[in-house]
Amino acid sequence: MAKEGKPGAQDSIKQEHNGGGIPRLLDAAHIPLLPEERVAIDQEHLAAPIRSPQSKFQLVPEFLKVRGLVKQHLDSFNYFVNVGIKKIVRANERLTTSDPNIYLKYRDVRIGKPLSSGGELVLTPHICRQANFTYAAPILVDIEYICETNGQKSLKVQKGVNIGLMPVMLRSCCCQLYEKDEEELAKLGECPLDPGGYFIIKGNEKVLLMQEQLAKNRIIIDMDKKKRLYASVQSSTATYQSKTIVVMDKDKIYVSSNQFKTQVPVMVVMKAMGMETDQEVVQMIGRDPRYGDLLFPSIEECASLGVHTKKEALDFLKKKLQFPNPRFKENEQVENILRDVYIGFVPARHNFRAKCIYTAVMMRRMMEAILNKDAMDDKVSGFSLKYG
């Protein structure tokens, strides 16, 4: 007869019923788990959220062992050296003159190893600290250009042209200390425990501080100091970085950009990008009649300015340019600004429809915030961390 009482770990008994309804006794403590069951349990345990701050704090030492305090600096610098600088050069690879047949083109770019200004001495961080040198490496490019000799033009290619110096982050992929073991670091006069992630400028160690910036290529709805509602987007491409603002000012909508002396009516900008029909702009924003009511004062202003066609809109914007350049023909400068600078991350070659749609989305987001204050953005969540 079984004793009554609280069962222990080895006395735990699980009752199951077979198909005939007869109870079957199984000792749960002695049932082996299948491999796939054990993996599923481990994954579920690892994926479980950590609730208490005390448990989270215990993870900090392990995180620092894996990541360290400077890995984000090294990753950012290595990405720029291996990827970012190549994108920038590729976006601006061709330099032309008034004669389109004479040009200079960058074919490739790379960062060399740190050398002295004369290129005779291989620099190490220890030497730079002692001699008050800047720990920098040459920027080398391969170029092609047109050379004219005795009236004959020929294509020339030159490799490894030094166009400048770039400070090198210690322990980065360009550094003499990269992937060196403790013995090699000691021979170079470096401490094996030094994590790197900083620069040496004229013998002094310089650290890039972390700073907070608004996320790129994301619409932010907010109020300015004049209590005007606006939608802004920070565009970032390999060629340009610019900020575009669509603002509601005295019931009218304007576009603000540092390319223009003053804010310009949004409907003029839309017409300059090919949206000559007001109805099409309204349909882009949305079918809600309240959107049309909010846009109507801007449509009236555009008509009062005598701007009805694309050419008239381009002529109007040309007069508002902050830095007019006589080198451009007719409205070519305005078209270049609308294509490359205005919401620069939205691609546009000959068709600006994608930019028109994005402008309409910005206006709609702003109108939604006017109709519903809860649609305002939390700028804190719109921030991203940048280093340097």
Same domain flag for 107 and 80: yes
Residue type, 356: C
Place of tokens 């092609």: 144
State residue 16's pLDDT score: 43
Same domain flag for 202 and 168: yes
State residue 204's pLDDT score: 94
Residue 7 domain flag? no
DSSP 8-state assignment for residue 68? T
Q: How far is CA 154 from CA 100, 105, 131, in A?
A: 14, 14, 45
Coil, strand or helix at 268: helix
Q: Residue 357 has which token pair?
A: 């749609």
Q: Residue 97 has which token pair?
A: 């003159």
Residue 133 domain flag? yes
Same domain flag for 177 and 265: no
Same domain flag for 254 and 309: yes
Same domain flag for 104 and 225: no
For residues 16 and 34, give the distance between their C-alpha atoms in angstroms, rounded to a whole number. Answer: 19
CATH of the domain at 365: 3.90.1110.10
Same domain flag for 239 and 345: yes
Number of separate domains in the chain: 2
Residue 64 domain flag? no
Residue 163 domain flag? yes
Residue 226: other Cβ atoms inside 10 A? 8
Q: How far is CA 268 from CA 240, 245, 341, in A?
A: 23, 15, 17
Same domain flag for 91 and 187: yes
For residues 385 and 73, give the distance between their C-alpha atoms in angstroms, rounded to a whole number. Answer: 11
Terminal-to-terminal C-alpha distance of the chain:
77
Same domain flag for 226 and 133: no
Per the DSSP assignment, residues forming a β-bridge with 103 are 96
State residue 175's pLDDT score: 93
Place of tokens 């994608």: 354
For residues 153 and 141, give the distance between their C-alpha atoms in angstroms, rounded to a whole number. Answer: 22
Nearest to 369 by CA among 177, 178, 228: 228
Same domain flag for 162 and 263: no
pTM score:
0.65
Residue 321 domain flag? yes
Same domain flag for 108 and 159: yes
Question: pLDDT 10s digit of each residue in the chain, 388 long?
Answer: 444 444 444 444 344 444 444 444 444 445 565 666 565 656 666 667 777 888 788 888 877 777 778 888 899 999 999 999 998 888 888 887 777 677 888 999 999 999 887 767 889 999 999 999 999 999 999 998 887 777 777 888 999 999 899 999 999 999 999 999 999 999 999 999 898 999 999 999 999 887 766 778 888 898 888 888 999 998 888 778 889 999 999 989 999 998 998 999 999 999 999 988 899 999 999 888 899 999 999 999 999 999 999 999 999 999 999 888 888 888 889 998 998 889 988 888 888 999 999 999 999 999 999 888 666 665 544 444 343 4
State residue 267's pLDDT score: 95
Q: Residue 202 has which token pair?
A: 């004229």
Do 173 and 78 meet the contact criterion of CB atoms below 8 Å apart?
yes
Same domain flag for 290 and 199: no
Place of tokens 């190490």: 124
Q: In what order do the strands lie in the sheet with 94-96?
A: 94-96, 103-111, 136-149, 152-167
State residue 139's pLDDT score: 93
Same domain flag for 74 and 134: yes
Q: How far is CA 108 from CA 78, 85, 146, 288, 338, in A?
A: 17, 10, 17, 52, 29
Residue 300 parent element (H or E): helix 289-304
State residue 152's pLDDT score: 79
CA 325 to chain centre: 30
Domain that holds residue 364: 218-375
Domain boundary among 206, 236, 271: 206
Residue 18 domain flag? no
Q: What are phi and psi of 376, to 5 degrees?
A: -65, 145
Residue 309 domain flag? yes
Do 24 and 15 meet the contact criterion of CB atoms below 8 Å apart?
yes
